[in-house]
Amino acid sequence: MSLFEKFHRIQKVRQDLLKTGVNPFHITVEKVLSPTEAIINGQRTILVGTNNYLGLTFHPDCIEAGQNAIAQEGTGTTGSRMANGSFLSHFELEQALADFYRLPHAIVFSTGYQANLGILSALAGPGDVILLDGDSHASIYDGCRLGGADVIRFKHNDVADLEKRLRRLGERSQKTLIVIEGIYSMLGDRAPLAKIVAVKKLFGATLVVDEAHSLGVLGQNSRGLVEEVGVEQEVDCIVGTFSKSLGSTGGFGVSHHPEFELIRYTSRPYIFTASSCPSVVASTKAAIQVIRTHPQLRKKLWDNAHQLYNGLRQAGYLLGAEVGPIIAAMIPTKEMALSMWQGLLEQGIYVNLMIPPATPNGECLLRCSVSAAHTPTQLETIIQGFSSLQSSLEDDSESLEPQTMQPLHRTC
């Protein structure tokens, strides 16, 4: 037996996929033209699958800050902060995050994935318990495993199930870490945060909220669901990423607990990973300032989200959640989803193809992420593209009609 034999099954699945003429996992973006357009397969293509919610990847302030940082500090740090030391800009970015969230402590990681790995594995270890929402991101699952705590899933957005499991833990509930997300990345639904905070306080547990998809999107000051619900002092730690609304790469955690600073000495991903390069640090810090001074970007994002959501719903699609920047059209079969994804790409529209096992409830999804940088004309083009594909498939299947599709187990 070879260790590589486990890949034979995956190879067969890949070969079957390639026989269809569709290969969604090897897309090459040949040239990026703007936050919302690129050249793919030699064709000008609208990007509606990038998570670039505020369109800041081409903001002049962010570009200028990144260019200046390269000129002044070089292209990289060539080591971890623990081994090589922190650049002054690393501390300045952490201070900018702390000021933004109005919390005293902030730690920056090299990626959003590592932020979850580093913080969750440091907070909960052997003898502790983690209760995580069943639809949590892969980085959350991996962070929970890395720490060695007992990991228990509760039903997605089901506060009663969370409370039941905490009650069963008895005194262990006080050494339990609850992990949820602000906005969930597949269907765009939000956590019932106020109710979860109430349960957390009742049992004396600790709560971490991953705001990867809600930073820049929710709250009067764009601080996410925690701000929108008004529970910033009741949440123990907020985790987030720079790779969505902030338009760069990296991750962070913020907290009001003074002990949070000690994670720097216990988090293996923090200690042993090369720190963020100067250009990324500088552009991220500039992006935070843009968010603080340009609230109109968030308003434009929501105007665009309503336009696309309403257009796809009127076209007959069943959409997976309330209006928001993540808009997922549920497709009855994998074959149909592959065909429709390819059809959209041929029309110059790039969306995310999501198929099991990466999706909740075995759903097949064509997932759109709206940007403040999308124009009304681009959104109308996307709507027309979806509409034309649905019409062409009606002869093959009636299952795109909303009344014939099975609802999700959750309330969307």
| Catalytically annotated residues | 185, 213, 244
- Could you tell me which of 284, 342, 269 has the C-alpha nearest to residue 27? 342
H helical segments located in 204-277: 225-229, 268-272
* CA distance linking residue 188 with residue 54, whole number of Å: 16
* CA distance linking residue 137 with residue 181, whole number of Å: 8
> Do 251 and 58 contact (CB within 8 A), yes or no?
no
Q: What single letter denotes the amino acid at residue 160?
A: A
Q: What are phi and psi of 329, to 5 degrees?
A: -90, 125
* CA distance linking residue 400 with residue 383, whole number of Å: 15
Residue 195's Cβ-count burial label (10 Å; 0-12, 13-18, 19+) is middle
- Could you tell me which of 368, 223, 194 has the C-alpha nearest to residue 298? 223
